Amino acid sequence: MNPDILAHTESVCPICLRTIAATRIAEGNDVYLLKQCPDHGAFKTIIWRGLESYRHWGEHGSRTAPPPITETMAQHGCPHDCGLCPEHKQHSCCVLLELTPRCNLRCPICFASADHAGNEPTLAEIESWLQRLQAHSSPVNIQLSGGEPSIRDDLPEIIRLTHCMGFDFVQLNTNGILLAKEPDYAKTLKEAGLDCVFLQFDGVSDRVYQHIRGARLLEIKIQAIEHCAQAHLGVVLVPTLIPNVNVDEIGAIIAFALAHVPTIRAVHFQPISYFGRYPKPPADHDRITLPEVMQELEIQTHGMVHAADFSPGSAENAYCSFSGKFFVDTRGHLSAPAKTTEKCCSTQSGCGCGAPIPGEDVQRARRVVAGQWAAEQVPKPTAVPSQINISSLDAFLALRRHSFSISGMVFQDAWNLDLERLRECFIHVVSPDRRIIPFCAYNLTAASGQALYRRPHHEHAQV
Ligand code: SF4
Ligand code: SF4
Ligand SMILES: [Zn+2]
């Protein structure tokens, strides 16, 4: 039986990384990416389990607006021209700065290959990266990343510098070890201007941490969250989901998060993707796709959230992510707010053409992330309505309910990379040579482990 071809796209060969044609095909109820390299043969990888939800999800087209400035030429074909190049379709929304290749853990699954020695960028180099981002004119959220960025003694200074240069939302990607071990560290970072801690949090049992991170870390995570609470720093839990390792803890992770609201503002799931050396292609049963995560959320929260509560992001390709916004009631239960109609040109200017406003979706995505992930503002007692009437009391009570978001993003690797998705990427990395590279291209490695872009810092020449 011939498979149904759903769409034609492009990808890379996982062996030689050359750009090759690819198709998305349906087989039974599953969707695969199929491609053939003239030298290395055919590759077929699961990308979505559930044909109906695949079709439904694709109805939400992303609203793209090309980046205002491009730095490289479209010469060799995507993904070999990153810079950004003129073929890229979306602005930067969130930009990662890799502050160090060093780490205080040795995780078997790390895509930053954080065990290699390499120089760290100096403060002056970081300033030059930020200047390059300023030249791109529209504001972006900054993620300080690594390796483990908290290993740098000058992290508070870097946070201050980032804010001083006009970037108003700064988050830290961390394993939480320093936050746990040094009780005042969260306060120091908060005082420097940190807005949010993006905390690796793979589960609620040491079995999971031992498997994924090579250490028993649950107590460390709990302590890190306590110290963030004392410093009034918002925390987002970031679980990497691996089939047969921690998928069964999805519900327990949500329950843990709800028990720590309002310090914990959100849970952001990342199904595992495969970077580094893989002599054999990762098996399909070693992947979990986005609709399965949404279904597990429904099952493991016993219907407190529903798969239908989630939607794709509108600033990135629909197949990259899902997100849902909820309220937490006084019993710690979640309810989904009514869905709102998304803004387009017609609602903004009244012209009625329905066209997206260039860059508006990226800017909205940026503001939504900043608003939800930063620590919640504590309402002042004076906010209590002085004259009780039902509608103002309702409004006040609605304000007192905590908001909470659940989201997920599935990164792409050499096997499942779809260049249509990559060209719409809005999460970018400033590479040491100051090119701006979409995240999934920056981390891309061939099956041999050879990276397309990522190099130890000292190998880069400045451009
Ligand atoms: S990912 Fe974007 S910037 Fe990189 S080569 Fe493709 S279109 Fe150009
Ligand atoms: S980082 Fe990867 S998964 Fe996320 S938006 Fe960019 S291309 Fe999509
Ligand atoms: Zn090849």
Could you tell me the two tokens for 369?
Answer: 């992330």
- What confidence score (pLDDT) does residue 425 get? 97
Q: What is the mean pLDDT of residues 446-462?
A: 74
Cα–Cα distance, 345 to 357 (Å, whole number): 6
Same domain, 87 and 31: no
- Let me know if residue 344 belongs to a domain: no
- Let me know if residue 415 belongs to a domain: yes
pLDDT interval class at 376 (50, 70, 90)? confident
User: How many residues does the structure list for the chain?
Assistant: 463
Contact (Cβ atoms closer than 8 angstroms) between residue 230 and residue 194: no
pLDDT interval class at 21 (50, 70, 90)? very high
- What confidence score (pLDDT) does residue 116 get? 53
Contact (Cβ atoms closer than 8 angstroms) between residue 412 and residue 442: no
Q: Is pLDDT at 155 greater than 90 in this prediction?
A: yes
Contact (Cβ atoms closer than 8 angstroms) between residue 55 and residue 312: no
Q: What is the mean pLDDT of residues 351-369?
A: 57
- Compute, in angstroms, the gap from residue 133 CA to the centroid of ligand 2: 19
- Let me know if residue 189 belongs to a domain: yes
Query: Tell me: the pLDDT tens digits for 381-429?
Result: 444 334 445 555 555 555 557 999 999 999 999 999 999 999 999 999 9
Contact (Cβ atoms closer than 8 angstroms) between residue 26 and residue 55: no
Q: What is the mean pLDDT of residues 249-262?
A: 97
- Per the structure, the count of domains in the chain is 2
Which ligand neighbours the alpha carbon of 437 most closely? 1
Name every protein residue with a CB atom under 6 angstroms from any ligand 1 atom. 78-79, 81-85, 87-88, 422-423, 438, 441
Query: Tell me: the pLDDT tens digits for 220-244?
Result: 999 999 999 999 999 999 999 999 9
Q: What is the CATH number of the domain that holds 152?
A: 3.20.20.70
More confident residue, 392 or 53: 53
pTM for this prediction: 0.89
Which residues contact residue 35 at a Cβ distance below 8 angstroms, ignoring those fewer than 6 apart?
11, 13, 20, 21, 22, 23, 42, 43
What is the percentage of the chain residues whose pLDDT exceeds 70? 85
Ligand 2 pocket check for 422: Cβ under 6 Å: yes
Same domain, 86 and 10: no
Residue 11 lies in domain: 4-55
DSSP secondary structure letters along 205-232: SHHHHHHHHSS--HHHHHHHHHHHHHTT
C-alpha pair distances (Å), 43 with each of 111, 211, 380: 22, 28, 58
Contact (Cβ atoms closer than 8 angstroms) between residue 172 and residue 149: yes
Cα–Cα distance, 68 to 90 (Å, whole number): 9
